[in-house]
Structures are given as structure tokens and as C-alpha cells.
Amino acid sequence: MFENASRTELTEMGEFGLIQHLAQHFESFADTTQLGIGDDCTVIQRDEHSFSLISTELYLEGVHFDLTFHPLKHLGYKLVTAGVSDILAMNGKPEQVLISIGLSNRFSLEAVEELYAGVRLACDKYKVDLVGGDTTTSRSGLVLNITAVGSVSKSSITYRKGNVKPNDLLVVTGDLGGAYMGLQVLEREKRVFMEVPSMQPDLEQFDYIIGRQLRPEARWDAVALLQELGVVPGVMMDISDGVASEIFHLAKANSIGFDIFEEKLPIDPQTVETAVSFDLNPSIVALNGGEDYELLFTVGQDQYEVIKNQPDFTIIGYVTDLVLKNQLITKAGNTFDIKAQGWPESQK
């Protein structure tokens, strides 16, 4: 098949390039489509004052999760977190989820019940209704999909491309890099266990970061706090691929750059200790580690006093007019370019 056709490797295009390439020839027919591809959610006209939000995510065994260390109950919870997080990233209110599963005969009823016990816990936590999905057979491991639906008022929706200008503050919720280090620990323990099955891992000292990996929380509380404070961010997204990658999206969408201060990066002591023990730089882990499901947003300088007093919000940098130039100012005062993926480029 395709012997004579020219062949372009998908790896050359990257995920985002591929999506843009595929989407370019599609026309928009429905006048209720407010925003299609390109943000955390699709935005659809709901009524005069509000939009509906929709997001969908695919999770494959062996790519996104490893069942040798991911308990099914936690996996169900994490799936809902991922869906809900995209709704929150638009400053929205999550309302419904649809979940589709592809199961092989390796799974028993009890196993699927475990998965759904986690889904139910998350639905209770985020106050969302499970309203549909699809169930089918899989020949290649467990396949999961979540579609999350929500709503947002037209006056408080926050896009990736928005109202942002130089000197605006870049703010992050919670702490960074924990989920990535949790995964490093779990993968190391798995390797040890495969070699010496009698070895019982002692994971208690890693409880926080392992929890961040296996059972992350979506930041509904941060969105509620923003509302309480009367703050509507200029732009916002959730951190699924790591801050370095997400600021690249924000910079590109708004033709801006960011300066980030290493000393401001919020990193939990357990993340720091574990990174150091793995010979990794904790700041690089915080910038590049994915799956934290924290929120990243900008606010104007006039919100400085309001934001700085919130322990769960950290101002990590500010917006610059250097288009697509994202820089890390180190603790020693040196400046590095932050690459969209991977490690910061050579020192200037």
C-alpha cells in the first residue's frame, strides 16, 4: 500500500503541526461554532450570555498509562480530571462527561468496576454527570476516551489568544514537576521489580509526587477563587505538557514572549529531593514535566496586590514584546532561551 506515493514522516510535523495541517481545509458551516480547533476546548454558542465548552481526550494503555503500577480506580479518577481540567482552563464550569472504553477479555467485571469507582469519585468531587459514552472490544490494550462538557459566561471566558500585553504577570497555580518525578519513581521501581521480583518497594517517602502522577486533581478551586477575587485572566490554559510547551502556545497565539524567573518556580520539596537524587535539575523538571493539571494564566499589573497574597497562586514571570522569545532568568542572573520542548538552549 502507498508504494508510489510520497511519504512524509509524522514525526517531522509534530502533533500541533499535524492537527493544523489536517484542519486547514475544513469550512465552518454552523453559525453556533464560536471557536473550533486550537484551544483547550471547542466553544459553541449556548444563549445570549453564555457558551458551551467541549473537550475530548484519548488515553491509550502503554502510551498514556501503565497498568503495572496505575491502579484502575486512580486511572478512572485521572481520566475525569483530564477532561474537567480543559473546561476549567477556559474559566468554565464542568457539567457533564461522556466516557468511552475499549476492553479486551483480559478485563473482568470487577476490574471495570474499579475503573468506574474512580470515575464516580471524580464525578462526585467535580460535581459532573456521567451522561454517555461507548463500549467496545479492544485487541490492543485498554483504550479510554473522555469528552467533557461545560459552560461559561461570555464575560468570563478565557482563551489561549486573548487580552494580553507586555508586562502582564504570568501566574501558575499549585506546584510544578511533581507528576513527572512521580512517574520517574514508578518506572524505576517497575524496572527493579522486573529484575528482582522479591524486592518490595518502599514508596512512602514519595507519596506526594506519586499521588500527583496517579491521581491528579483538576483546579476547580482556583477557578472558583478567581471568580471570588473578581479576576478574569487575560489568557489561560491548563498545564498538560509542561510550562515550557504551554508558554510556547500562548506566545505564538498572542505574538508575545515570556520572561520566567527560576527562583519563582513553585516546586514541592519532595519533587526537588527526588529530582536531585535522579541527577535532574529541579527547575528543568518544573518547566518540562507534564501532567500537573495546574492552570497557567496572565493578569494585568493592576492585579498584582490581589494575586500576590494568594498562597496557591505564584507569579513566575511576565509578558514581553519579544515575539516567541521565552527566557528563563536563572537564580545566578543568567538568561537562557526556553525551548518549546526539551531542555533550555545554550547560555547566552
**Site for ligand ADP, rule CB under 6 A:** 19, 22-23, 37-40, 57, 86, 240
Q: With binding defined as CB under 5 A, does residue 86 bind Mg ion?
A: yes
DSSP 65: B
SS (H, E, C) 76-124: HHHHHHHHHHHHHCCCCEEEEEEEEEEECCCCCHHHHHHHHHHHHHHHH
Q: With binding defined as CB under 5 A, does residue 241 bind Mg ion?
A: no
- Is residue 151 a contact partner of residue 92, using CB atoms and an 8 Å limit? yes
CB-wise, 75 or 148, nearer to Mg ion?
Answer: 148
CB-wise, 103 or 237, nearer to Mg ion?
Answer: 237
CB-wise, 40 or 259, nearer to ligand ADP?
Answer: 40
Q: Are strands 33-35 and 236-238 parallel, antiparallel or unpaired?
A: unpaired
CB-wise, 114 or 238, nearer to Mg ion?
Answer: 238
CA atoms within 13 A on the CB side of 176: 32
User: Residue 294 has which C-alpha cell?
Assistant: 495546574
CB of residue 40 vs ligand ADP: minimum separation in angstroms? 4
Q: With binding defined as CB under 5 A, does residue 238 bind Mg ion?
A: yes
CB-wise, 32 or 334, nearer to ligand ADP?
Answer: 32
CB of residue 264 vs Mg ion: minimum separation in angstroms? 23
CB of residue 246 vs Mg ion: minimum separation in angstroms? 8
276: left (phi over 0), alpha (psi -120 to 50) or beta: alpha
CB-wise, 11 or 309, nearer to ligand ADP?
Answer: 11
Sheet with 42-45, side-by-side order of all strands: 33-35, 42-45, 50-60, 143-153, 93-103, 129-137
Residue nearest to Mg ion (CB): 40
CB of residue 238 vs Mg ion: minimum separation in angstroms? 4
CB-wise, 54 or 306, nearer to Mg ion?
Answer: 54
CB-wise, 240 or 270, nearer to ligand ADP?
Answer: 240
Q: State the binding partner of 38 from ligand ADP, Mg ion, none, CB within 5 to 8 A by kind.
A: ligand ADP
Of the candidates 271, 265, 266, 267, the residue with the CA atom closest to the CA atom of residue 206: 271
Q: State the binding partner of 175 from Mg ion, ligand ADP, none, CB within 5 to 8 A by kind.
A: none
User: Residue 95 has which C-alpha cell?
Assistant: 457539567
CB of residue 38 vs Mg ion: minimum separation in angstroms? 11
Residues 6+ apart with CB under 8 A from 346: 336
Q: With binding defined as CB under 5 A, does residue 40 bind Mg ion?
A: yes
Cell 514508578 found at = 186
Residues 6+ apart with CB under 8 A from 26: 36
Q: State the binding partner of 211 from Mg ion, ligand ADP, none, CB within 5 to 8 A by kind.
A: none
Give the C-alpha separation, 283 to 289, whole Å.
10
Q: State the binding partner of 324 from ligand ADP, Mg ion, none, CB within 5 to 8 A by kind.
A: none
CB of residue 182 vs ligand ADP: minimum separation in angstroms? 20
- Is residue 119 a contact partner of residue 80, using CB atoms and an 8 Å limit? yes
Q: State the binding partner of 39 from Mg ion, ligand ADP, none, CB within 5 to 8 A by kind.
A: ligand ADP
Residues forming the site for Mg ion (CB under 5 A)? 40, 86, 238
